[in-house]
Amino acid sequence: MFGLDKKDASLLLIVAALVAFAPFLLNPFPEGSAMAQFNAGYPDLMQRFVIFGIFAIGFNILFGLTGYLSFGHAAFLGVGSYAAVWMFKLLSMNVIPAIVLAVATAGVFALIIGYVSLRRSGIYFSILTLAFAQMSFALAYSVLTPITGGETGLQLALDDPRIFGSATTADGNIPVPGFFGLEMRDSAELVFGSWVFTFNVGYYFAAIIMLASFYLSIRIFRSPFGMMLRAVKSNQQRLNYTGLNPRPYTLAAFVISGMYAGLAGGLMASMDPLAGAERMFWTASGEVVLMTILGGVGTLIGPVLGAGLIKYMENIISKINSDILHSWFAFLPDGLEDLIVALIYPFIGKGWHLTLGIVFMLVVIFLPGGLVQGGQKIAAMFGRKKAEKTENATTEPAE
Amino acid sequence: MDAIILQILNGLDKGSAYALIALGLTLIFGTLGVVNFAHGALFMIGAFCAVTLSRLLSLSHKVEVPGAVDFLGNPQMRDVPYIYDLFGESLGAGIIDWAVPLSILFAIPVMILIGVIMERGLIKHFYKRPHADQILVTFGLAIVLQEVIKYYYGANPIPTPAPSAFVGSFDFGALVGFEPRTIIYPYWRLVYFAFAALIIGAVFAFLQFTTFGMVVRAGMADRETVGLLGINIDKRFTIMFGLAAAVAGLAGVMYTPINSPNYHMGMDFLVLSFVVVVVGGMGSLPGAVLAGFLLGILESFASMREVIAIIPGINQVIIYLVAIVILLTRPRGLMGRKGVMED
């Protein structure tokens, strides 16, 4: 299907199904119940799942295939956001030109930064990309204020030109981004008993783009070009000896992954039309590294899983407070309850970064392949057991 | 002329901090070959050692003020630090006043211990793994350390003043023969610079003039051969890691009066320190020190009003610009050895 082999096609279909039914899957608990705070099926968070999924997929094309660890990828996301918001300000509130310009601008930036940074490899490459990203951040924050809005960020205003659209809505408000009449923030709700499922236009729009970019990334992974990138990762010297220049390939990978980041930035601005310099700060670049590693670097589905996990933790774990903990452990005797709450408390709420850091360290130490490798190990464990069972069942020797 | 001297002086304190952190990073990289992203966190922990000690010293209990009553008729209470009971009021107050310099004594063992635990517990297992893995695991560790500190000390900066003898500024210009009141310089920054110079000198002297340092230098040059000679080089490298942690920690302790410590100060310095290490040359100790001061001074020149008027925003990006130019034109850095991490 679509030029994919059976395994990849089924992976794509599974992801598509998960994404399509996400409003149901992420809302397993009825509204108002004690577990309802674990529901992640609200539009804002679901949009973030898919948008950061795109960001991580793109990062994985660079880091997973070529092994070049960029510590400045958030710069492209920020550039994409700014480009998209400028489109909303100047052209119209349609998201298509905004996203196209976001991708193109990020691509140009990635071409320039990549051309310079890829002259070095290893730690030097990481530092160069970090330096470029920090420069972009510092400039966006200070000197480029007329373009970027500086500290307050770039926002829409009532007196923006918007030459192809209307500057204001009929009732004098700032219009919202839309896709040919479909407004990104529109939602339909389905009430089913005490469950409430929200279907958001923006989410499905981003999800379709995410599926398209996921499909593209599968094709890149399976293409001769992807093979070439893997060759760069495994032994660049040998590649040189065979008379091939790896630089055009790595540069192409860098630009593609920068464009993915720009796409994510453009989508982010489409969901909520503002852009700030903090999106380019190096912790944002670190976050996408965390996502990719957590999920499984170099695997197809890993980065999406990692992005989902981190965004879920960020939004759900950080909301738990000590009262909620107390209500969970209320069945225990008082002393024990307080002890357990005191033990867990540092890891939740505002301390969710601590949990993230610990999980990340554990993954790097024990599971360099991330969650995907973990899943494979578990599968192999059960698989071996099954195999042993069948071996025992059949009396004939394996040979 | 006086403006130039003023900018050089202004660059010295930041440059000292860069140089100290970069020195530690280079020590770790040169001995163990590990790229330590948690080094900024060590700097931050050092700063919080100072905070902890000054809090410990000011622990107090309540004492009745004889003869005074509040408006309800209860005897009035006042806080008396325990240290007053031990050493008497004037000496006790002096000790509390000098909490930051005293923290040096407290921070050295703590930092060496943390460094050794870090190396034995975590980093040891990463020697054979790729550099990317080392970066990632130490990055994770930095997040964890930072969050632990945030949990115990809160997210706000904690002001930690210098001893009152060093508060305020003095007229450096008048001292060296310029017009009075042209070069005003805070005392503590001079102290910080002198302290940094002392530490850097001590580290170099330790490596250059002791047998232990000689063995470590030999190990840096060729670890395998030193091992074959029957010397337990791993143990010495572990101690060097502790030492590097202590250097970063001391840089943090003395930096607290300049900049109130908060939990993310380490990360802020780390990014710049890496740039410093790369500019100086990976694995070169003199390079790290030179580049640290150089970049600190460059940064302070770039923030002069006259310079900003010509090239707006240059003060924000100068360090990164220098790093990019150096990396592209002289890959091994200013004083890097040929062939060390040059690809």
Q: Beta A187-192 vs A195-200: how paired, if at all?
A: antiparallel
Q: With 90 as the cut, is the pLDDT of residue A111 above it?
A: yes
How many other CB atoms are there within 10 angstroms of residue A332's CB atom? 13
Q: Which two tokens stand for residue B28?
A: 């770790």
Q: Check CB contact of A285 with chain B, cutoff 8 Å.
A: no
Q: Stretch A340-352: mean pLDDT, rounded? A: 81
What confidence category does residue A388 fall into, taking pLDDT thresholds of 50, 70 and 90? low
Which residue is associated with the tokens 């000590």?
A322
The three-state secondary structure class of B169 is strand
Number of A–B residue contacts, CB under 8 Å:
105
Q: Check CB contact of B308 with chain A, cutoff 8 Å.
A: no
B97 vs A397, residue with greater confidence:
B97
Alpha helical stretches, state H, B154-264: 172-175, 187-209, 211-221, 223-228, 233-255
- Residue A251 identity (one-letter amino acid): L
Within a domain: B7: yes
Looking at residue B339, its pLDDT comes to 63
- Cβ–Cβ below 8 Å for A357 and B267: no
What confidence category does residue A229 fall into, taking pLDDT thresholds of 50, 70 and 90? very high
Q: Stretch A357-369: mean pLDDT, rounded? A: 88
- The minimal CB distance from B137 to the residues A126, A356, A361 is found for A361
Query: Which residues partner with B172 through β-bridges?
Result: none
CA-nearest residue to B152 within chain A is A346
Interval A176-190: pLDDT, tens:
888 887 888 888 888
From A379, A354, A253, A85, select the one nearest B140 (Cα to Cα). Answer: A354
The three-state secondary structure class of B281 is coil
Q: Which helix (H) or strand (E) holds B110?
A: helix B99-121
Dihedral sign for Cα A76, A79, A83, A85, please: positive
Report in angstroms the alpha-carbon separations of B58 from A38, B51, B95, B151. 44, 11, 10, 21
- The minimal CB distance from A358 to the residues B144, B282, B313 is found for B144
Q: Stretch B50-67: mean pLDDT, rounded? A: 84
| Euclidean distance between the first and the last CA atom of chain A, given in angstroms as a whole number | 37
Looking at residue B195, its pLDDT comes to 92
Interval A288-332: pLDDT, tens:
998 998 898 888 999 999 999 999 888 888 888 777 777 778 788
Looking at residue B186, its pLDDT comes to 84
At B51, which CATH number?
Answer: 1.10.3470
The three-state secondary structure class of B328 is helix
Q: Stretch A213-219: mean pLDDT, rounded? A: 94
Tell me the ipTM for this assembly.
0.82
CA distance B138 to B133: 8
List all residues 6 or more positions away from A213 whose beta carbon is below 8 Å from its beta carbon. Answer: A54, A57, A58, A260, A263
Q: Which two tokens stand for residue A188?
A: 């339909």
- Cβ–Cβ below 8 Å for A131 and B275: yes
Looking at residue A393, its pLDDT comes to 44
- Cβ–Cβ below 8 Å for A142 and B148: no
Q: Stretch A200-224: mean pLDDT, rounded? A: 93
Q: Which helix (H) or strand (E) holds B184?
A: strand B184-186
Contact B283, B22 (CB under 8 A): no
Q: Which of residues 156-215 of A touch B (CB under 8 A)?
A: none
Task: State which residues form the domain around B302.
Answer: 2-59+102-329
CA distance A374 to A389: 23
- The minimal CB distance from A121 to the residues B317, B320, B343 is found for B343
- Cβ–Cβ below 8 Å for A134 and B143: no
From A372, A54, A375, select the one nearest A215 (Cα to Cα). Answer: A54
From A269, A273, A249, select the one nearest A261 (Cα to Cα). Answer: A269
Total structural domains in chain B?
Answer: 1
CA distance A298 to B17: 38
| Euclidean distance between the first and the last CA atom of chain B, given in angstroms as a whole number | 42
Looking at residue A392, its pLDDT comes to 47
Looking at residue A395, its pLDDT comes to 42
Q: Check CB contact of B131 with chain A, cutoff 8 Å.
A: yes
From A305, A257, A375, select the one nearest A50 (Cα to Cα). Answer: A305
B contacts of A134 (beta carbons < 8 Å): 271, 317, 320
Q: With 60 as the cut, is the pLDDT of residue A394 above it?
A: no
DSSP B165: G
Q: With 90 as the cut, is the pLDDT of residue B37 above it?
A: no
Q: With 90 as the cut, is the pLDDT of residue A250 above it?
A: yes
Distance from CA of B20 to the nearest CA of A (A): 19
Q: Check CB contact of B135 with chain A, cutoff 8 Å.
A: yes
- Cβ–Cβ below 8 Å for A126 and B135: yes
CA angle (A53 as vertex; A50, A56 as ends), nearest 5: 160
Which residue is associated with the tokens 């990719």?
A292
Contact B297, B8 (CB under 8 A): yes
Q: Which two tokens stand for residue A354?
A: 């601590």
Q: With 50 as the cut, is the pLDDT of residue A399 above it?
A: no
- The minimal CB distance from A360 to the residues B140, B275, B321 is found for B140
A contacts of B341 (beta carbons < 8 Å): 122-124
- Cβ–Cβ below 8 Å for B327 and A127: yes
CA distance A398 to A284: 53
CA-nearest residue to B268 within chain A is A282
DSSP B123: G
- Cβ–Cβ below 8 Å for A364 and B137: yes
CA-nearest residue to A289 within chain B is B136
CA distance A100 to A77: 13
Q: Which two tokens stand for residue B17?
A: 């901090």
Q: How many CA atoms lie within 13 A of A52 on its CB side?
A: 28
Q: Check CB contact of A142 with chain B, cutoff 8 Å.
A: yes
Q: With 90 as the cut, is the pLDDT of residue B110 above it?
A: yes
From B276, B261, B213, select the one nearest B20 (Cα to Cα). Answer: B276
Distance from CA of B343 to the nearest CA of A (A): 6
Within a domain: B182: yes
Interval A53-109: pLDDT, tens:
999 999 999 999 998 989 889 999 999 999 999 999 888 888 999 999 999 999 999
Q: Check CB contact of A112 with chain B, cutoff 8 Å.
A: no
Within a domain: B85: no
How many other CB atoms are there within 10 angstroms of residue A226's CB atom? 20
Within a domain: B145: yes
Looking at residue A56, its pLDDT comes to 95
- Cβ–Cβ below 8 Å for B132 and A360: no
DSSP B256: T
Interval A143-202: pLDDT, tens:
888 888 888 888 888 878 888 777 777 777 888 888 887 888 888 888 887 888 888 889
Mutate which of A123, A139, A289, A347 to test chain B, going by most B C-beta atoms within 10 A? A123
B109 vs B88, residue with greater confidence:
B109
User: 3-state SS string over chain A?
Assistant: CCCCCHHHHHHHHHHHHHHHCHHHHCCCCCCCCHHHHHCCCCHHHHHHHHHHHHHHHHHHHHHHHHCCCCCCCHHHHHHHHHHHHHHHHHCCCEHHHHHHHHHHHHHHHHHHHHHHHCCCCHHHHHHHHHHHHHHHHHHHHCCCHHHHCHHHCEECCCCCCCCCCCCCCCCCCCCCCEECCEECCCEEEEEECCEEEEEEHHHHHHHHHHHHHHHHHHHHHHCHHHHHHHHHHHCHHHHHHCCCCCHHHHHHHHHHHHHHHHHHHHHHHHHCCEECHHHHCHHHHHHHHHHHHHHCCCCCCHHHHHHHHHHHHHHHHHHCCHHHHHHHCCCCCHHHHHHHHHHHHHHCHHHHHHHHHHHHHHHHHHCCCHHHHHHHHHHHHHHHHHHHHHHHHCCCCCC
Distance from CA of B267 to the nearest CA of A (A): 9
B contacts of A141 (beta carbons < 8 Å): 316
Q: With 70 as the cut, is the pLDDT of residue B217 above it?
A: yes
Q: Check CB contact of A67 with chain B, cutoff 8 Å.
A: yes
Looking at residue A329, its pLDDT comes to 80
A contacts of B141 (beta carbons < 8 Å): 357, 361
CA distance B32 to B244: 11
What confidence category does residue A398 fall into, taking pLDDT thresholds of 50, 70 and 90? very low
Q: Check CB contact of A360 with chain B, cutoff 8 Å.
A: yes
What confidence category does residue A43 fall into, taking pLDDT thresholds of 50, 70 and 90? confident
Looking at residue B343, its pLDDT comes to 53
DSSP B166: G
Round the average pLDDT of chain B to a whole number and report it: 85
